[in-house]
Structure 1
Amino acid sequence: MTDNAISIKNLVKNFDDEVTAVDNLNLEVKKGETFGFLGPNGAGKTTTINILCGLLKPTSGTVCVGGYDVTKNLKKVKELIGVCPQEAAVFKYLSGRENIELFGNLHKMSKKDLKERADMLIEKMNLTKASNRKAKGYSGGMIRSLNLIIALINSPDIAFLDEPTVGQDARARRETWKFIGDLKTQNKTTILTTHYIEEAEALSDRVGIIDFGKLIALGTPKELREKYNAKNLEDVFLKITGRRILEGI
């Protein structure tokens, strides 16, 4: 059995034969690793994640998640993954708990397991008081917390977290950081995309930086700082891309 949770080989994704969003990408993510996937807006991060989750088909190349080829065994892949998308996937006229239960039922969780896990996650994300309120009254940060619970309700082996702390205040962000850190103690694999460089630096075992669809840097935060003689990852990013992460392209 492979030690890799994710294996990407020679991945290419073209749109309309004019735009190459992912350009011959090769990448491996180890089981139990927290991997920070960074890049400016339009660099190819979300396209890559969407291919890994089976939402897009690659133009060429192979992508394996949990040892399964995504294009050939998507059903198996979906059993292994949880996805926290950048755009919140919640029903605003359901309560927080009803949203969680809905997605838990889609995963065919038992009633007992669903209640126990929902209670635990709601408490960890400090949504106990709000869990029975309709989500339409939630703040942006609360919606992000609910979105994260939904993504992890089935205790997936591999979690894709796309900007999980956007809109959260400093306290909620720290709680989310701790929650993501706890996933590592459970030997879960986490793919984290974020525009908060300090978040990737604090949480990631390794970081990959993508630009114009190509992987341009890969290593631990310490290795990248030393290689580029930089004081932090933000400085690394600025040196190799020529711009700050929030500037886009």
Structure 2
Amino acid sequence: MSLGIDWVTEWIRESARVISDNRVELITLDREIGDGDHGENLDRGFSAVIQKLADLPGDAVPGDALKLVATTLISTVGGASGPLVGTAYLKAAGAVGKAETLDGAAIVALLTAARDGVVLRGKAEVGDKTMIDAWTPAVDAAAQALADGADEAGILAAAADAAEQGAKSTEPLVARKGRASYLGERAIGHRDPGSQSSALILRAASDAAVEVGSDARSANSAPADSAPADGASGTSGAS
């Protein structure tokens, strides 16, 4: 089952929901090693994205929706989050182009391009205690799942699982990038807020795929309208 615009729009809505639900947690994480605005900024950005979803044309493809997220986050989210996350979506949009549906290989390409966009913008690598510590394991797990024959939902689930473990792995690290790097060893024991929000967004992608797949299966299993019995019609046969 390839994924199309329905999946991307559901991913956007689910991302907005989980960021809103976890806004306070993200603020708390950022207060511990940053400036405390990560949750608030992302929540504001995704709220703006939701408002603009209605502007998507009826013939929109996944890349169009991804580009809408990118431009909206870059223009509305302050701090480092807007450029970093926005660039991830922008590169993801470029990776899928004008494709109407995305198979497993396209999903891996999307995730890889998104990760590479964050690297391009933030110059971080695994172990720096940044969102890359969630994104790179996610990309690696997605590629492995594809090689193992997983479908699109399975690829996204593997990516989400790896991202969550990657976010957790930032807790014992000394930050080497961003505001947290000024804390030195005092950052040890705190989870990076960017890695945590990245894990939430990637889990939202996985959950959206499950939701869209469930809707498709329900539609396909719905009984067809009963055909009229032989000889029956809506008009009388009498002359």
Q: TM-score range by the shorter chain?
A: 0.3 to 0.5
* Higher-strand-fraction structure: 1
Q: Which has the larger radius of gyration?
A: 2
TM-score when normalising by structure 2: 0.32
